Structure formats: C-alpha cells, structure tokens
Structure 1
Amino acid sequence: MKKLLFIALTLLLSFQVKAQDSKIPTEVKEYIQSRVNNQINVGIVVGFVDGDTIDYYSYGNTALQNGVAVNKNSVFEIGSISKTFTATLLALKVNSGEMNLDDPISKYLPKTVKTPTRNGKEITLKHLVTHTSSLPRMPDNWDPKNLKNPFADYTYENLYSFISNCQLKYDIGTKKEYSNVGMGLLGHILELQSGKTYQELVIENIANPLDMDDTRLVLTQTMKSHLAKGHDGLAETENWDIITLGGAGGIRSSASDMVKYIQANINADTLDSKLHKAMALAHKSAFKSEEQNAEMALAWHIENGKFLMHNGSTGGYCAMSAIDKEAKRGVVVLTNSNENVDAIAIKLMVPNYKLKLLKPSISKVLEKEIKDNGIDKGITFYKNTKAEKASDYNFEVEELNTLGYKFLSEDKKDIALALFKLNVAEFPNEANPYDSLGEAYLENGNQELAIKNYKKSLEINAANDNAREVLKSLNEGIKEVEVSKQMLESYVGKYQLAPTFFITITTEDGHLFLQATAQPKFEIFPSDYNKFYLKVVEAKVEFNANNKGKIDSMTLFQNGQILPGQRVE
C-alpha cells in the first residue's frame, strides 16, 4: 500500500527565492532543500506573510520526469484546507441572515433524505462545520472503482443513501470526530441553498474578490499549464477529482493565491467587507473539549489558544496553512508529494520549534545500483550497506517500499516484487510491506500469494482498510469481530504503563475508548475478544487476565515498542 505519507525522489533540482530581505530563515530554506535532495518531496513552495511583508521560497520540480522548477504560481491540490473555504461560505450565509448555524441539516436536504438523529437531537450546520456531528470520517458506501482517483465516482445519490442509513455512534455535539463526509455534506447543502455549484460559490464569494484566478475545483487551461504533478512515492499519480464532497477537499490553488487568502484571514477583524466579516465569524471558537484537548472554530483548528491551522492531503499532494492574527503572520506550504510538510509551517510560526535532521534515502543509491548491475547485486548492495553504513542513510521501512512502487510504475514487475520481498524480510513486523507485496503479487497475476500477504498485513494492523477492501474485492471475506458489552465493561479501568503515564479505558454505547495521559480520547476497535486497535495511529492494545480470569493488565504495542501496564483502578 502506498501510504498517505510517503517518500519521493526528485531528479532535477532548482529553486527560486525572493532576493531581498527574506523573512524565511536560512535554516528553513536548507531544511526544504534537504527534503528534496534527500528524496522526501518532489517540489515545495512556501508563502510566508509577516506583517506587510510577503516572502516566497520554492525548491524542486513540478514532476520527476521532464519537470520544471516549481514557483509561487505552480498549482497544487490543497486537500482539506478546502474546509476553511466551506466554513467561510457558510459564515457569509449566516451573516446575511440566509442561514443559521443552529439550523438542522434536514431543513436544506431533499425530503426523501432521512437525516440521522440520536436521543431526539438533530445534526445542525454548526455540528457539521465543527466536526461534532457524530458522522464518521468517511461514508461506509464509498467504494471507488479507481483508487488513484477515489472520489470521482461518488455521487449525490451515494451521499443521500449514506445519510439516510447512517447510525450515529455517540451523542451529537458531545465530541470532535473529524468527518470528511460531514464537511462534504455541508458543501452540498450550500449548493442546495444557493442553487449554485460549490465551485461557483468559491469563485463568486472568495476567489474573485481576492483576485485568486488559479483557485478552482476544476482546472482551467492556465492552471493545467502551471500544474505541479502529484506524486505517490516515486511515481507520478492521478489528480483527485472531488466534486460531490468538494467542500471537504476539492480545491486546487497556488502559493500566490493562497497568500492572498491568508492575508485576508489575518486582516479579517480590521477590514470592513462581507468576506472579511465572514472570515472573522469563522475564526471564533465554536467547540472546546478539555477531555479531548481540542478546540474548533468553524473548520479551523485552534492550537494553543491563538493559532488557526488546517492542513490537507490527497493522493499526490500535501499542504499546510497556519495563521496568527495577533502577530499578523501566516504561512502556506504546498508540495506535490504525499509527504507531510507541517513541520515547515510550524517552524515559521513557532521559531523555537526544532526541525528534525534528515538523512539521504538508501533508495536513490540502490536504484542506481539496480539499474547498473541488476536486482540481485542490488539486494546484496543494500544488505552490505545497511550492515556497514547504517548511520549514513535512511533505512526506514518506506525506503524500499517507495523504490518498489517506482519500478512497478515503470512496469518492471520482477524488480518491484523482489524489493517488496526484501522489505518484508527486513521488516517482518510491519504491516505496510506485506500490503505492498500483496499488491505486487496481484500485478504479477498471483492471487493466492496476494491474498496471503494482504491477510498478514491485516493481522499486523487491523486498521488497514486498504487490505480489507482488496480482500473484499477478491471475495475473501473478513469476519468482523463482535465483543459483548459485558466483556467490554471488564476492560474499563486505569492502567499504569510508566510512573506518570496512564491509559484510561472507558466504554460508551457498546464501544470502547482509550485515553492516554494528557492526550485526546480515541475509540479502539476489536480484532479479537481481548485485542483492539486504533485507527488514528498504528497501535494495538491487548487486555490480559490473571489466573482467576480477572483483567489485571494491558499491553500497548506501538512503534515497535511493547509497553505493559498494570491495572490500578
């Protein structure tokens, strides 16, 4: 499986930077260069606003093959940053009196759509825009025909069917649970209320007033000519066409356009226009949970009580935006790789934030060795280099995976298969190598071994929905585990894993939740009667009984660590 966060290789390097009085520190520029040079990202563009000064920095290329240097006008997918546009559009409607945050969603949806309720309470527009609707992250009837463009065939009929049949897991408005389908639904509700498409609303109310000519859902010819091609690992990938759920993540833009958007948000409280007043409303705190350590404005995440932040990612892109209105500073970082760039934005907003030093990936030198001398000598080279120069290169699990997908994209299936096999041998306790090996076996027509490896991946990481979906498509049913409420209750308690580190287990409406010290609470899902996994991170917990059958301890498995904990309450 090609993970959302992945390694990418660039072949041609160049950069552009504003010549005078740069506000972007040399440390940040060198870090960006190291990400590209060390094969993390293909191209990165930063737009930084500091008071009245705007600064840009660009490094890398629009494509691995035949690419040109990225710049402030290069077009990227901004993913979930689109949600802040949706919130602004809603705020415009609220300020004009056309809509109210407390309006139930049923007011705007067709009468044929049965909107979900819980304990007599309805979902409102405010619940959608603050991720407190109890709707899940993704609709359960999302079944893309093309995983490289997975939203293209999701229709309004699919959305209506999902909403009409959705069973809410917890009380509406009680906690934050990030929901793409909820925000996509809000974008569609704005369409229904206005009689215009989501793109038309964005252009008319945000893009045109701010002269953002390269900010659209559907690429114009000019945007196509400036497009930075998305990359999944080392392979160029398809753009994501998100229309039905466009309000959740469908917008494409450039750094120069996004800087205009950031500036408008920074000045929202001081400029007197409909748009600025709407942005100001969207910035106000609308939900806060001490238990989850979370605070939401309208779509914007509020961090440390003052930063407005939102990132985004699609199949071949990542993006990050952050604003400090009081300091009149803001940043946007765009990359045409699905490797997270949040650290760059955080460093610019919080100067004492430490950037992690990077090592060059082993995949670049290994690729050359394979092309020069063949796969067998390449594998020998890899093993010898890892044994003798382990500190010189990045040998993490995704390095071989990334290179394997590059060869797979070049139709060199035997080489890709050999690299995925090597990765499984090197990292036998990691789920992703087995998933990728399963995909390679499918590409080579060996369904039996593909199924075996997908099942092994799912065994290691029960949250691997990709493996689950592929096995389903191969008619290999995966039995869902059900644990009785009585059994769930037996796990409830407080477990001590370190002197000051505890995990508290609670249950609610037949679901089990985990909360670590000073961290949010997350639902955990059963893979066996006493084994559970998290979906937000790759981690598992196992509950253990004593010789009298009473649960007296648990074990946390995460990042290769095995952390036992005694039950203390």
Structure 2
Amino acid sequence: MHLRLLAIAVISALSTHSTFATTDAELRSVLEKRFAGDRSGVCVAAAVVGDGGGVARAFVCAGGGKPRVDATSAFEIGSITKTMNGTLLAQFILAGKVSLDTPFADLLPKDAKLPVFDGKPILVRHVVTHTSGLPGLPPGFAPTDLSDPYASLTEAALFASLAGAKLERAPGAAFEYSNYATMLLSASLARMAGTDYETLLRERVFAPLAMRQSYIGKRPDGVRATAGHMSNGGETPPWTLPGNLAGVGGVRATLGDMVNYVQAQLAARDSTIADAIALTHVEVKTGAQPTMGINWILTPLAGRTVLMHDGGTGGFASFAGFDPERRRGVVVLADAAIDGVNELGLHLIDASTPLGTPRTVTKPDPKLVDALVGDYTMAGMKVSLTKRGDALVVQAQGQPAFVLSHDSAGDFFTTEFDARLSPIRKADGGYGFAWHQLGGTQVAQRVGAVAGKPAVVPTPEQLAAYAGEYPLVPGFALTVFEKDGKLYVQGTGQPPIEVAAAGDDVFVADAVGAQLRFERREGKVAAVTLEQNGQKLRGERR
C-alpha cells in the first residue's frame, strides 16, 4: 500500500472544481464521465450521503447499457472490513477488556511467539495503525491458488507463523501496511468473544446498523453475490478469508448496507454502538504517517479532516469515506480490480479533488515500443520484449508470447490474463519497465547496456528552478531542492532521494522506479507529475 518514494497513494493533487453530486442523476453523470469507455468494463455502485440525510445512488457500467449490478448485489469490500474490525475492538475497549496500550501479545494464545524489538513490545495501537513492524503477510506464506490466495491459510498456521517473524525497527516507528497483523487481531477478537468471527460481526456491527444484506460466508436470502472481474474485464473467482481471519477483508455488502454504515459514521443513524464508532475516529498517536484513527485513515482535505479507507481484492475495488464537518459521506463499490476508486471517492466528498479519467485503448508511440524492445531479468526469470508490427510482445522464458495492447494511462496490457506493463524512463534516456500482476509489482532489469540518448546535464542554476514544495495528496508533498549541483526529492516524513535528468523537465529515480515530469507556465516551473508503479500523481507548486 505504500512505496519508498510515495508514502501512501490516496489521491491526485488538488486542482479542479465541479459541482457536488447531490441527486441520482448528477451522481450518474459523474460516474459515466469517469468510466465511459474504460477498458476494464467495470460496473460501479456508488452513493453520496449529504447533509440532512439525503442519499444519491447510481449504478453505472463502463460499456453503457443496463448495469449488471443493482441494490441486491453484494460486493467484496476488501480492507474496508478493517474499519468494522476496529469497531469491534472499540467495543472491547469501552467495556474495559483491553486498551490501545495493551501489549498485543496479551490477546494471543499463550504459545504464540510475538516478536519484540530491543525490549519494546507491539501494542494494540500499533496494530490498528499499521505501525506494528510485522510484515504484510505471514512469514513462509505460500498461496496454493493465486486466484484465491488466502483460502488455504488456517488460524493455527497464522499463529504458528509468528515463530518466524522478526521486527526490523521499534513498533510505532513507521507505517507498513500489514494484513498479517490485522488477521491476528481479527482472530484474537473472536477468541475474546468466545464465538466465531462472522457471528461476532453480525451481532455487534451488522445488526445494530441494520446491515441485513452483509455477510462473510453466510449469504442472506435475496442477496446476490456479484461476480468479480480483473482489470482486463475477465471474471475471476471470489476470495475466501477463512473463519476468524476475515476481519482483514472478508465482508461482502450491498450498496444500501454500506450507506447505512457511512450514515452511522456521520451519526446520522441512531444505534447502540455509536460510542464505539466515535472512538474509531479519534487519532491514535504513534508518531508515524499517515495519521490514523482505529483503522480509519485521517486525511487532510481542503482544510478539513476526512476519514477514509479503500479496499481491493482479486476482482473488486471499493472506497468508504466521510467528512464529519460537512456531514458528507461516500461509498464506491466496483466489480473489477481497478485503480482510481480513491480519487473518485474523494472527488465525491470534495469536488476540488480531480475525478480521474477512464483507461481507454490507444496506440503506443512507435519510438516507445522500439525503446522497450530487449531482454530483461525479473524475479530471477528472463523476459523478452519484441515487436510484432506496431505492437509490443512480451515473453517469459519457457512461456508463450503475448501481444500487448496500450492504454491512455501509458501502460501496456494483455487481454489473456490480468497484468500490465508500465514503462520506466531511465537516466540515460532509455527505458525499463515495471510488471504488475496479482496485486504485486516487479521491476525488470535490462540485460546488457543499451545506448540511450546522452543524459541531460543541467547546471546548478537550472536545477534550482525546480526547487519548491509540490503537494500531491492531502498530508503528503514532495520537496524538491538543489544541492552541490544535484537535484533531490524528499517526500513528507521520508529521506531525500537523488534524481537524475532524463530529458527536458524529466527526472528519474532509477532505484525506486519513479519519474518526475515537471510542467512550465510562461517559462516557469509550475507543477510536477510523479509516475511510479503505474500510478500518476500531480501537484501544483506552492
């Protein structure tokens, strides 16, 4: 969820304005603008909860026509489930059974070996802010089915894997998104309650909020489990989050139930768990960024604080967020594993956030295709990029060749399976690429030297013209400065990284696979776009 150069990819920088979507028709218009012609063919269910309790709802598909999703469609909401897990924890806190400063080991089985760092234990507050230091996934975890990666993981194996876990820094020192830690917490809450996790969630969250169409494994009558899709439009199997581990991302919910959930966050819906919900919104201090409540991300936006969380599984993408000051909430549920739901969700909360654009099929620049052709190594495997007519072709050693299409976001992709290739500009003027598949990213290394055009060598005075602060997302900015004839970029709360000129107003950081493309107005540097791991974030210079 986070990158070395970019702390947390939430939204593009603030720049454009439009009218709030406050009616069904207005919301439908926004969704159609965002997804019309999107190559994924995604269908989206979205809702905006306005001040006064009014709700706008819309169902839209990228290809137009009658949507395949409706009010009875249950979507995988992925990691938004973590905020519900946080509500359960808050109930235990209010009952005096645990606190944020309770050592997390106290919640685990006695034979579970939770690591410490220099005598400093992991506390509950570290788990709900992703600062525990535990890795993203259990040590030694090897999915047997990549289309349903967690299905074979058991609770016993989860706790046993702690024997191989090590901390590289003190808990609370840095943000590192950990599904592993959340699964441990989910299982621990079920143990504390003396019941299974789905029953616990149904009795203590779903029932109080009248979320009668939400479930983990026991689908209610009249609810249809929506099929998930890959970003190339093909169907993909649902994810299984076994038993008591499901608090990490195992909930399915309809749009109506998620509206109930967001209304409860805004205190627009009376419930017996209002105090627990309010507690999840309070900042949990650790000293790390981003600022978080109990599993909610606290995001500065247009001078206010918005609470949000996104979700993603193999076939779905989702967003839930709300602005307590303006009493406005948003839900976005997509039946495909697409990028950009955060941008859309935050645009619907505050229209100063750019809406984003659909990924449409386009023709690649022939010069770019020629520059990418060559042999590479990636994850210990040889990969070749060749040319067939005007198209780029990828072939891993011992595997078939696949012709790649190109989209308006600048990525190449195949329709045979869900993967995309993002070109990476190099300091010598040549190109490498990043390969995105199954939720992960691998950076390929070119085999042998390739003669790119000579590197641009700006003078210190020319470099100084780029200096300044460029906010990319609320709470995160790039600071650019010149020192000793070199240009450096420093993300909020991160160390500076040297970047090298790769063209006019283009700089790259080869070590992290990032590119900075500066824009000028009337000859002066005015904005920058960061491209990294297939994502693009733009910021105006302050």
What TM-score does the superposition give when structure 2 sets the normalisation length?
0.66
Q: What residue is the counterpart of 1:499 in the other structure?
A: 467
How far did residue 357 of structure 1 move?
4.2
Report if aligned partners of 2:489, 2:496 keep a CA contact under 8 Å in 1. Answer: no
Confirm or deny: 8 A CA contact 1:181 1:245 kept in the other structure: no
Q: CA deviation at 1:135?
A: 1.1
The higher-RCO structure (CA 8 Å, 6+ apart) is 2
Hey, what does 2:90 align to over in structure 1? 91
Q: Report the 3-state secondary structure (helix = DSSP H, G, I; strand = E; otherwise coil) of the residue aligned with 1:72.
A: coil
- Cα distance, 1:402–1:121 mapped onto 2, change above 3 Å: same
| Percent identity for Structure 1 against Structure 2 | 27
Q: Does 2:57 match 1:45?
A: no
Amino acid at match of 1:135: L
Deviations 1:154-185 (A, max 9, x none): 11222112222211011112232221111111
Contact conserved, 2:115 with 2:162, CA < 8 A, in 1? yes
Residues 429, 326 of structure 1: CA spacing in aligned structure 2 closer, same or farther, 3 A cutoff?
A: same
Match of 1:459 in 2: 445
SS at match of 1:33: helix
Native 8 Å contact 1:87 1:298 kept in 2: yes
Greater share of residues in strand = 2
| Structure-to-structure mapping, 1:270-285, within 5 angstroms | 271=270, 273-285=271-283
Rounded Cα–Cα distance in structure 2 between residues aligned with 1:284 and 1:456: 37
Q: How much does 1:140 deviate? A: 2.5
Distance 1:429 1:242, change over 3 A: same
Structure 2 counterpart of 1:430, from 424, 428, 433? 433
Where does residue 307 of structure 2 map in the other structure?
308
Is 1:330 aligned to 2:312, yes or no?
A: no
Cα gap change, 1:533 to 1:428, in 2 (>3 Å): closer
Distance in 1 between the 2:408 and 2:441 partners?
25
Residue 125 of structure 1 is matched in structure 2 by 124
8 Å Cα contact 1:108-1:189 kept in structure 2: yes
Give the secondary-structure state (helix, strand or coil) at the position aligned to 2:98: coil
| 1-structure distance, mates of 2:441, 2:238 | 29
Please list the CA deviations of residues 375-399 of structure 1 after superposition, one character each: whole Å capped at 9, or x if unmatched.
Answer: xxx975869xxxxxxxxx945554x
Structure-2 residue corresponding to 1:519:
492
Q: Is the contact made by 1:43 and 1:337 (CA closer than 8 Å) also made in structure 2? A: yes
Structure 1 residues not aligned, in runs of 5+ = 6-20, 364-377, 384-392, 409-418, 421-426, 437-453, 462-494, 505-514, 525-530, 542-555, 562-569
- 1-side partners of 2:298 and 2:219: how far apart? 33
Instruction: Output the amino acid matched with 1:147.
Output: L
TM superposition shift of 1:260 = 0.3
Matched with 1:211 is 210
Q: Does the residue aligned with 1:149 lie in a helix, a strand or coil?
A: coil
Could you tell me how far apart the structure 1 residues matched to 2:315 and 2:111 are?
Answer: 37
Q: Could you give the per-residue CA deviations for residues 112-164 of structure 1, whole angstroms, max 9, x where no partner exists?
A: 11111112121122211121211122223221010000000111222112222
What does residue 352 of structure 1 align with?
A: 352
Q: Which amino acid aligns with 2:467?
A: P
Distance 2:222 2:157 in 1: 30
Q: CA deviation at 1:518?
A: 4.7
Could you tell me which runs of 5 or more consecutive residues in structure 2 were left unpaired when the two chains were aligned. 1-8, 10-19, 364-386, 393-405, 422-429, 448-462, 470-478, 482-487, 498-508, 517-529, 536-542
Measure, in 2, the Cα distance between the counterparts of 1:142 and 1:303: 32
The Cα shift of 1:362 comes to 3.9
Structure 2 CA distance, aligned partners of 1:338 and 1:112?
Answer: 38
What's 2:139 paired with?
140
Residue type at the aligned position of 2:435: N
Checking the alignment, whether the CA contact within 8 Å between 1:132 and 1:173 is kept in structure 2 is: yes
Aligned residues: 411
SS at match of 1:55: strand
Greater helix fraction, Structure 1 or Structure 2: 1
> Are the structure 2 counterparts of residues 234 and 455 from structure 1 closer, same or farther at C-alpha, using a change threshold of 3 Å?
closer
1:441-460 aligned within 5 A: 458-459=444-445
Contact 1:74 1:228 in 2 (8 A): no
CA distance in 2, matches of 1:32, 1:89: 33
- How far apart are residue 25 of structure 1 and its match? 8.0
Aligned-pair CA distance for 1:68:
5.8
Per-residue deviation, 1:222? 3.6
Question: 1:191 — aligned with what?
Answer: 190
Shift of 1:516: 4.3
Distance 1:460 1:344 in 2: 36
Looking at structure 2, the residues matched to 135 and 455 of structure 1 have their Cα atoms a distance apart, in angstroms, of 20
**CA separation of 1:394/1:91 partners in 2, compared to 1, >3 Å: closer, same or farther?**
same
Query: Residue by residue, what CA displacement relative to the aligned partner does 1:226-245 show, whole Å, maximum 9, x if unpaired?
Result: 42433342210011101253
Retained in 2: the 8 A contact 1:75–1:228?
A: no
SS in 1 for 2:188: helix
Aligned to 1:296: 292
Once the two structures are TM-superposed, the CA of residue 309 in structure 1 deviates from its matched residue by: 0.6
Taking the aligned partners of 1:210 and 1:379, their CA distance within structure 2 comes to 56
User: Distance between the aligned counterparts of 1:559 and 1:240, measured in 2?
Assistant: 24
Equivalent position of 2:253 in the other structure: 253
Question: CA contact under 8 A between 1:232 and 1:315: conserved in structure 2?
Answer: no
Q: How many angstroms does 1:92 deviate by?
A: 0.5
Q: Is the 8 A contact 1:497 1:503 kept in 2?
A: no
Match of 1:481 in 2: none
The Cα shift of 1:259 comes to 0.4
Q: Distance in 2 between matches of 1:92 and 1:560?
A: 39
Paired AA for residue 500 in structure 1: G
Q: Is the 8 A contact 1:234 1:402 kept in 2?
A: no
Cα distance, 1:77 vs structure 2: 0.5
Contact 2:148 2:238 in 1 (8 A): yes
From 392, 406, 413, the counterpart of 1:401 = 413
